[in-house]
């Protein structure tokens, strides 16, 4: 049987803290559609974590959370600027175009998943033409698809010219916990010009849940109707909110993310193949030919070939040092 | 503090069986996007429950499940026939039009939430005209929004002329468990001509989850891509599948639904106000003026005024006889 | 062969003035996508006619012009308030929902096609709820679908509470020329709070063309991209602009509309059936049973049964007094 | 004043034959929405020209015609395969995604605007994955965006593996007349597996009009409602149909296209810059640096830099040999 330990960070179970909070929330009757006390408490914790007076909603799907956010920032005849390998560009089956009614995506180059500043500047310099979709928002991802980190300053440098144009900014934080554990100060997001953040719960070790954090209050108007129409306003909101309580109230989310990051570093240290990208967070990307990958799969370890041709190994809160070492041994025997 | 016991059947917590199954599923690594063993086991149980060789997917949202299903049955310049007070018409913020790209809804009359046969026939008799959205599907709900039941024969009578036209059929089973507990034989659905069923978990006492059951196999092609784009293909599918295992494997879902139905009957028996609709399932609808409703709210019990002007009281698996009796007392004092 | 003289005001040919202007514009090379000198000249004439400093675009379709305008005023989880028999509600195959991505329509009652003030007020008073599409715009039609007129004051009374809510206003002017000929002062539109006007060319006697007039300049940003994506930015814009030049430059549009209105009055005077609505503009609506209508059709005259059950006779610039009298005779023989 | 003679083939006026037919059609009353005798006659002529028993509709916009066709062939979670520089990919502001509700586009490489067979094969070989939009149709353009021609055999070779997959085929014939004049046999289209053809009128020298030709009859069901909802079912259909009568009834369309093609050949012969693509039809693409292009613009001649970096000169029915020679002189002085 294949082992999915390193296939993704969504193959792990939920953390004890997240699950326990969900169990604790399963008590008594509660009002619906996110108006319950659990959702309120979780939203307060998210705000405290970000040190920000923002609107917070808890939804089921990261794909939908991203797509709904982008639809809130752009009109159908406009486009989102994003790294060409961003999740929204390559892994969401065109969800931004579906939720955004034909919304375009403009893929930008950049090493190791970080958008190249000049590439962004060039895209912003393009004149508006009626025959193409001009940008109206920038989407950033931290930590990135290639397991690298943006420092707040680096994000600020990308965001500044975008805001100068009057465009919106979305931050895909599916792995924001890993970024935080790697040193990214979450309390600085509020001052960077981010309009909407998707603060990921799922990949951080929760049952499926994501927090949509709306910094730009004007966007919050009728947001519940927007979510409801999009199938993302849960009637039983407490089940999406509770895991955030369990994970945020004493910082478990960051301890778990730090562990995942450390496991990635450990794996990188054992790796007999060339590591292609800096290992800032919880992913290790290596150069491996097809024959070797096939043998790896045969030996029972599952890993994906990624968009840049490297093979990706993801660590999670549940990855153990023993498993990392076992994988290291297996890889050594293939190299 | 307001008591939400009777405000809806989604104010209750999850049943012990559903929650325990979720906890049990939270073990080890699992492959993503519904390919895991928990999802497979749950799908098998759904198929066994329905005695049908159907495709089964587990999703987060009933609104989305309905809307995605209708989008699969109709094109944007077509319409869905439904009871004018069906959930898709009145409570989903236009989700069918959003997921269906402008898809129309044609509301049909009918007493106590059941579509009137002649009204349906008249709608089907309308000639196709280019300036309006002609029907391509019928959406049914069982048990209905007014707590009444369709017998299989009654559903068959509505479905037959629709299938004769070559149109599709969707069954909103948000309260299918209550229908089953009231005598509706789930194994007969497969022979009625239903193309897609949404088998509700949430209102039946699970954490948020719904099973999409595709009887018409041609509709299943690329359905995962359809769900993914719509933000309804969970990366961690086991958390949506597991509660169905807990509730289906030994019939807990039906015992709980039977209890909810019985509580509704008990409440109806105590009711000092005129009960407007037959109490087949878990809802009681009564005639109550605004002043009385306001006093009820003040006394701490929350209930909604519904679309037909009556006031709705919903019972759930978690409703106790004591609470019913306490509400009965409170109502008596207002009458 | 059936005579379509009275079936609609779009069955008539184009006026000599409109056609001649189109022929005159067919000279030499011209830049594309509405940047040509013909489009500029026509836009100037529209602005002069309305005494307004507005953005003007010429498009092919009234249905699309309305739908694109409504999409500019509302988001998908919002709705448009309109008369329940407005063209956008009943005759455009759900185009507002298609162009507006699921945008809702809220139909309002009102005698003879004019929205009832209290009905509008009641709709505006509804609290925002996440489960339904709350209004974000009002759509008005002048002259109305039933051939009646709003005075500027009447429009203002409807618009005022809508603007007070911060909502947008769209004016469907498919028959604006008929309204003007009936005394409606076009120069007052700019002060009424209308954000977007569709000034109809087609029914006024032009080859297919409509002017989209954007009073609220903020809506004009990237409007050409909006039109292009919607298939409504003509590469050869002069063919849509020129007819407006021919019809506006010396007021031909109003002379022709006055004639159409006069023909309707003449027909009403000859009518042996009960006329149901005031004949302010170019339509006559009468009470006629099915058998009589069938005999009318058999006698060669085509007319439609309309939404309120009456039978509609439309006059146009091309309707002659002789034809009106001939129809009058035919009707007399059936009465 | 800038001269737009070579900027595009949509800067020319309409041909005498097209305009005369429009004038002739402007006679008497006609039924609406494409049911008139002019539309019928024009549809018959299109069918005769293609020797095909197909459904034919006349619409205003090529962008919309393409987008509506693609929406008929694909679902939102699917994609269209097309040349990466096809008009639908680069010049229509994302209209396919707008009309197709998020429909994806997969750009394929290929020299001089013709899709590379192996690139297509590779795209067809990609396994269906739920996280991306898999292809459901191929869009071809003839003559291509780079003024080159596909022979029927070449189209057949591209289409065959697509049909083998059960996917649809769309042919963008904005310049089909130029292809025909260059030797492409229009009567062979019907046997190639094309499901929908957009037969261009606008660039062929008509006032704005395009014929949508539906070879696959199953797609024609409710197509008028599809067009109406998309703002492409003209109430006064005769004005879109008539130009086709004038141009097709005695082959004027092909004489004019042959002239345009000949003018392009003449220009290519005079060209002092390197011609980058074969001059099969009516466009000439040359290598020219920015400084030179700027001087060309200053000298009064307008031409665009195109997607591959070359500068495009388009000829039309209205291009005269004298103008070509004058442009040739002007270019010589810049070289």
| Backbone phi and psi for residue A129, each to the nearest 5 degrees, phi listed first | -130, 140
A–D interface: beta-carbon pairs under 8 A: 69
- DSSP code string of C248-306: HTTSHHHHHHHHHHHHHHHHHHH-SS-B-S---SSEEEE---HHHHHHHHHTTB--EE-
- Average pLDDT over chain C reads 97
Percent of chain C whose pLDDT exceeds 90: 98
Q: Which residues contact D94 (CB under 8 A, 6 or more apart)?
A: A76, A77, A79, A97, A102, A103, A104, A132, A133, C229
B contacts of D131 (beta carbons < 8 Å): 33, 225, 228
Domain membership of residue C77 (yes or no) is yes
Is some CB atom of chain A closer than 8 A to the CB atom of C37?
A: no
Rounded to whole angstroms, the Cα distance separating C97 from C113 reads 22
Give mean pLDDT, residues A60-64.
Answer: 97
Indicate the residue of A61, A99, A225 with minimum beta-carbon distance to B60: A61
**C111: pLDDT confidence band, cut at 50, 70 and 90?**
very high
Question: Given B213, B248, B283, which residue is the final one in a domain?
Answer: B248
Percent of chain A whose pLDDT exceeds 90: 98
The answer on B163 and B285 residing in a single domain is no
**A1: pLDDT confidence band, cut at 50, 70 and 90?**
low
**D1: pLDDT confidence band, cut at 50, 70 and 90?**
low
Give mean pLDDT, residues C66-95.
Answer: 98
Domain membership of residue A3 (yes or no) is no
Q: Give pLDDT, residue B237.
A: 96
How far is the CA of C251 from the CAs of A299, C211, C244, C248, C263, in angstroms?
A: 84, 16, 10, 5, 19
Q: Which residues contact A178 (CB under 8 A, 6 or more apart)?
A: A143, A204, A257, A260, A261, A281, A282
DSSP D281: S
Domain of residue C292, CATH code: 3.90.1150.10
Q: Give pLDDT, residue C335.
A: 86
Domain membership of residue C124 (yes or no) is yes
Q: Write the pLDDT tens digit of every residue in B219-276.
A: 999 999 999 999 999 999 999 999 999 999 999 999 999 999 999 999 999 999 999 9
- DSSP code string of B191-228: GTT-SEEEEESTTTTSSS-EEEEE-SGGGGTTHHHHHH
- DSSP code string of B243-296: HHHHHHTTSHHHHHHHHHHHHHHHHHHH-SS-B-S--SSSEEEE---HHHHHHH
The answer on B136 and B186 residing in a single domain is yes
A contacts of D98 (beta carbons < 8 Å): 76-77, 101-102
Indicate the residue of A28, A31, A225 with minimum beta-carbon distance to B7: A31
Question: Given A194, A224, A248, which residue is the final one in a domain?
Answer: A248
Does residue A67 contact residue A82 with C-beta atoms inside 8 Å? Answer: no
CA dihedral A20, A23, A28, A30 (to 10 degrees): 90
pLDDT of D98 > 70? The answer is: yes
Q: Give pLDDT, residue A2.
A: 76
The answer on A26 and A146 residing in a single domain is yes
Helices B252-270 and B238-248: crossing angle in degrees, nearest 10, is 70
How far is the CA of A42 from the CAs of A28, A47, A66, A235, in angstroms?
A: 18, 9, 20, 16
Domain membership of residue A66 (yes or no) is yes
Q: Write the pLDDT tens digit of every residue in B181-219.
A: 999 999 999 999 999 999 999 999 999 999 999 999 999
The answer on B281 and B179 residing in a single domain is no
Question: What is the Cβ-side half-sphere exposure of residue B203, based on CA atoms within 13 angstroms?
Answer: 28
Give mean pLDDT, residues C148-171.
Answer: 98
Is some CB atom of chain A closer than 8 A to the CB atom of B249?
A: no
Q: Determine which of D8, D94, D96 to mutate to test the interface with A (most A C-beta atoms within 10 Å).
A: D94
Rounded to whole angstroms, the Cα distance separating B271 from B334 reads 11
**A217: pLDDT confidence band, cut at 50, 70 and 90?**
very high
A–B interface: beta-carbon pairs under 8 A: 153
Q: Which residues contact D209 (CB under 8 A, 6 or more apart)?
A: D58, D59, D60, D201, D202, D239, D240, D241, D243, D244
Nearest residue on chain C to D231, judged by CA atoms? C64
Nearest residue on chain A to D130, judged by CA atoms? A93
Task: Report whether the peptide linkage leading into residue A143 is cis, meaning its omega lies within 30 degrees of zero.
Answer: yes
Find the domain containing C323 and state its range: 252-334
Question: Given B207, B223, B248, which residue is the final one in a domain?
Answer: B248
Rounded to whole angstroms, the Cα distance separating A72 from A101 reads 11
Q: Give pLDDT, residue A8.
A: 94
Rounded to whole angstroms, the Cα distance separating B298 from C222 reads 52
pLDDT of C160 > 70? The answer is: yes
The answer on A135 and A32 residing in a single domain is yes
The answer on C198 and C109 residing in a single domain is yes
Q: Is the dihedral of CA A161, D304, D317, D152 positive or negative?
A: negative
Q: Give pLDDT, residue B2.
A: 76
pLDDT of D133 > 90? The answer is: yes
The answer on A306 and A228 residing in a single domain is no
Domain membership of residue C9 (yes or no) is no
B contacts of C99 (beta carbons < 8 Å): 102
Nearest residue on chain C to D230, judged by CA atoms? C95
Rounded to whole angstroms, the Cα distance separating B213 from C313 reads 51
Q: Give pLDDT, residue D2.
A: 76
Task: Report whether the peptide linkage leading into residue B143 is cis, meaning its omega lies within 30 degrees of zero.
Answer: yes
List the chains bordering chain A where 3 or more Cβ pairs fall under 8 Å: B, C, D
Is some CB atom of chain B closer than 8 A to the CB atom of C305?
A: no
The answer on A147 and A278 residing in a single domain is no
Rounded to whole angstroms, the Cα distance separating B311 from C131 reads 18
Task: Show which of residues 82-101 on chain C sit within 8 Å of chain A, judged by CB atoms.
Answer: 101
SS3 state at C157: helix
Indicate the residue of B102, B128, B226 with minimum beta-carbon distance to D222: B128
Domain membership of residue B5 (yes or no) is no
Q: Give pLDDT, residue B335.
A: 86
SS3 state at A196: strand
The answer on B208 and B243 residing in a single domain is yes
Is some CB atom of chain C closer than 8 A to the CB atom of A238?
A: no
Residue B178 CB burial class (10 angstroms; 0-12, 13-18, ≥19): buried
pLDDT of B49 > 90? The answer is: yes
Cβ distance D235 to C7 less than 8 Å, yes or no, reads: no
Nearest residue on chain B to C91, judged by CA atoms? B131
Closest CA to D243 of C224, C236, C210: C236
Give mean pLDDT, residues C232-241.
Answer: 96
Residue D216 CB burial class (10 angstroms; 0-12, 13-18, ≥19): middle
- Average pLDDT over chain B reads 97
Cβ distance A33 to C133 less than 8 Å, yes or no, reads: no
Bridge partner residues of B213 (DSSP)? B56, B197
Is some CB atom of chain D closer than 8 A to the CB atom of A327?
A: no
**A335: pLDDT confidence band, cut at 50, 70 and 90?**
confident
Cβ distance A77 to C132 less than 8 Å, yes or no, reads: no
pLDDT of A165 > 70? The answer is: yes
Closest CA to C78 of C142, C123, C145, C144: C123
Is some CB atom of chain D closer than 8 A to the CB atom of B231?
A: no
Give mean pLDDT, residues B88-109.
Answer: 97
Structural domain count of chain D: 2
Domain of residue B131, CATH code: 3.40.640.10
**B1: pLDDT confidence band, cut at 50, 70 and 90?**
low
Q: Is the pTM of this model over 0.90?
A: yes
B contacts of D101 (beta carbons < 8 Å): 76, 101
A contacts of D133 (beta carbons < 8 Å): 93-94
D contacts of A94 (beta carbons < 8 Å): 76-77, 79, 97, 102-104, 132-133
Domain membership of residue D9 (yes or no) is no
The answer on D217 and D105 residing in a single domain is yes
Is some CB atom of chain B closer than 8 A to the CB atom of D229?
A: yes
Is some CB atom of chain C closer than 8 A to the CB atom of A219?
A: no
Residues in chain B: 335
Cβ distance D130 to B33 less than 8 Å, yes or no, reads: yes
Indicate the residue of D77, D98, D131 with minimum beta-carbon distance to A102: D98
Closest CA to C253 of C79, C1, C52, C14: C14
Q: Which element (helix H / strand E) includes D81?
A: strand D78-83
Domain membership of residue C111 (yes or no) is yes
Q: Write the pLDDT tens digit of every residue in A114-162.
A: 999 999 999 999 999 999 999 999 999 999 999 999 999 999 999 999 9
Q: Give pLDDT, residue C1.
A: 59
**C2: pLDDT confidence band, cut at 50, 70 and 90?**
confident
Is some CB atom of chain D closer than 8 A to the CB atom of A235?
A: no
The answer on C322 and C184 residing in a single domain is no
Cβ distance B228 to A14 less than 8 Å, yes or no, reads: no
Q: Write the pLDDT tens digit of every residue in D213-241.
A: 999 999 999 999 999 999 999 999 999 99
Is some CB atom of chain A closer than 8 A to the CB atom of B229?
A: yes
**3-state SS, one letter per residue, for A88-102:** HHHCCCCHHHHHCCC
The answer on A27 and A67 residing in a single domain is yes
């Amino acid at each position: 049987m294949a082992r999915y330990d390193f296939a993704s960070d969504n193959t792990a179970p939920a953390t004890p803290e997240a699950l326990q909070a969900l169990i604790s929330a399963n008590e008594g009757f509660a009002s619906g559609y996110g108006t319950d006390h659990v959702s309120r408490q979780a939203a307060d914790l998210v705000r405290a974590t970000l040190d920000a007076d923002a609107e917070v909603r808890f939804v089921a799907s990261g794909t939908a959370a991203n797509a709904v956010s982008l639809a809130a920032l752009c009109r159908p005849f406009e486009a989102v600027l994003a790294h060409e390998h961003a999740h929204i560009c390559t892994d969401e089956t065109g969800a931004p175009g579906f939720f955004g009614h034909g919304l375009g995506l403009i893929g930008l180059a950049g090493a190791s998943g970080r958008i190249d500043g000049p590439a962004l500047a060039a895209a912003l310099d393009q004149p508006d033409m009626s025959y193409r979709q001009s940008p109206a928002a920038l989407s950033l991802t931290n930590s990135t698809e290639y397991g690298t980190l943006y420092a707040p300053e680096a994000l600020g440098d990308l965001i500044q010219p975008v805001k100068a144009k009057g465009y919106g900014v979305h931050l895909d934080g599916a792995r924001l916990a890993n970024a935080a554990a790697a040193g990214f100060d979450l309390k600085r997001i509020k001052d960077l010009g981010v309009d909407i953040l998707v603060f990921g719960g799922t990949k951080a070790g929760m049952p499926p849940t994501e927090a949509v954090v709306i910094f730009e209050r004007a966007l919050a108007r009728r947001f519940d109707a927007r979510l409801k129409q999009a199938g993302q306003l849960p009637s039983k909101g407490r089940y999406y909110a509770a895991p955030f309580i369990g994970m945020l109230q004493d910082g478990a989310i960051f301890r778990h993310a730090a562990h995942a990051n450390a496991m990635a570093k450990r794996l990188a240290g054992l790796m007999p193949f060339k590591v292609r990208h800096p290992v800032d967070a919880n992913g290790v990307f290596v150069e491996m030919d097809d024959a070797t990958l096939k043998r790896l799969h045969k030996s029972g370890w599952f890993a994906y070939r990624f968009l840049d041709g490297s093979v990706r190994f993801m660590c999670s809160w549940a990855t153990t040092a023993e498993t990392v070492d076992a994988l290291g041994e297996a890889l050594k025997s293939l190299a």
